Structure 1
Amino acid sequence: MVPLLIIISFVVFALTLLIPGDPAVSLAGENATPERIDFVRSQLGLDKPLVERYLTWLWGVMRGDLGTSFMDGRTVSSGLSQRLPVSIGLASVTLLYASTVGVTAGVIAGRRAGGKTDRVVTLMTSMGLAIPHFWLGMLLILFVSLRLELLPAVGYVALTDNPVEWLKHLVIPAIALGSAVAAEIARQTRASVCNVMDQEFVRTAYAKGLGEREIALKHVLRPACIPVVTVIGLQAARLLSASVVIEQLFAIPGLGSLAYQSVFNRDFPVLQGVVLVSAVGVLLVNLMVDVTYSVIDPRVRAE
């Protein structure tokens, strides 16, 4: 993870140079003179060579200093510490919804492969993958919030302030963001369950006269979980990029909206901090997936 993070940090730092516009011009004002722009650029350290700027930034990151925002002068770490819990909360609710719906639908479809239930689940998963999450979010706002008035349309309430309102404000964004994730999990679960159902030990369990529920929970679900855990980990990483649009749509002050604002403001330190924290999150999710393998499958522990 350490060498990979170093490579990612350099790529992230270099890619910010591709963003159109000069933050020094934005900060200096519309009618600023070239001398004023050069002075602002010098104050921001943008006049130094790329390698020198990168090494300075990397040394700060290793000491826990992600830099200072160009726009408001606040430390990047303080901004991330306020936004990160919001994104973690949204991702957690989304993954809980997507995993519950996806695994349940996939197990039901896999146990009845080729039947009516399987065809219905396959149709629903295809729709879930095809519908853009931002369009689904707007439909949910229109019908659930504006017409039925069941849940809030936009905004955010901190978990520590009011847990019930926190959950209410995250239900619609989580459904919009997690429908495609649930569909992908359901398809992978179905394929994995179908594969396990053809194994000898499952047919032996049926021959012994065990019930459907017992066979599904004790003999089918656990061996089928390995590829399911993998796809859940991949979808968790995908949520980081998809949340940018959803957080903007629902006015949720998370990392996604912070990244969006930093791109348009040419606030390079904030953008670099957001992407670096997101990369660390992806690597930690992959590590958790690898550890989960050993918990689910005894053969991994034996190896």
Structure 2
Amino acid sequence: MQPINTALCSYGMSGHVFHAPFITVSPNFNLYGVFERTKNEAQKNYPKVKTFRTLESMLIDDSIELVVINTPNVTHFDFTKKAINAGKHVIVEKPFTATIAQAEELIQLAKEKNVLISVYQNRRYDSDFKTVQKVLNEGLLGNIVEAEMHYDRYDPVLSYKTHKETPTEGVGSIYDLGSHSIDQALVLFGMPEAVFADLNSFRPQSKVGDYFDVKLFYKSHRVILKSSYYVREALPGYIIHGTKGSFIKPKTDVQEKDLQSGKIPGSHNWGMELDTDSGLLHTEIDGEVIKKHIPTLKGDYMAYYNAIYQALRNNKQVPVSAEEGLNVIKIIESALKSHKEGRVVYL
């Protein structure tokens, strides 16, 4: 079948690291164009790519079938709406939108225009998360009692990306890193009944949230999502306790680091963690208590783009649907409300 002509709305870190390498490696896609207002950075790596100076000029190009909205969070709603109205299929970087109302409007518009929307939640394809998901799916821990997930960093200096540090819609760690953790929690456990959140800012001069502690309430268990920019000694990314046992897994997917170093997706040992980063399983199987490290599954962001191709060409299920993106925003809005009002918010 014909490769999908794809255009990026920017060629910063996201375009250069997370999208262009996969689009160009896959025979199912063609990196047709990039929106760059003044520079020609994409052409340095991909000489055949077409550079657009305005979003409007890119969206009227009939050769483009798929547009990736990988611009600052505050632009997601406006840019996605324009792309849908232009009849383009859309991949939107997380967070999908800043508000529930925006997400619902885009979902309805996409249905009217008969175009696909998918939210780029690449952390579903991290090696560590895939391994946690396998352990839970196999029932190795029994009934889950508590799950704690960390997305921590040690980065006390404000980001050079001013759009991430300017208090506008959709900004702050709950939208940035929180979108990943919330999405993973919803994949594993579904929508909770209620949310309680402590959101804060601890870096000097920070004007946006850089810390969150969110608790999701389910009938049978609790899920805790935490993030801080002041964690020099990394905690496990995943701590899962069940009625039969526990699974502890470091957050150690290698794909982002490899992409930043220029490694080509699909090359030798792609997505493979070190054996020393494997997770610890301590549980009971067939009456026998076991405690051992288990192999980590291979991380594979290409699986997302493969699924996009199948959705567009063969009417398969969309990876990370707009509705799933909306659910993440529902949790974020509930967390913001919980923090503001100091109470548990029921969904």
Same fold judged by TM-score > 0.5?
Answer: no
- Looking at CA atoms only, which structure, 1 or 2, has the larger radius of gyration? 1
Identify, as 1 or 2, the structure richer in helix. Answer: 1
The structure whose RCO (Cα within 8 Å, separation 6+) is larger is: 1
Higher strand share: 2
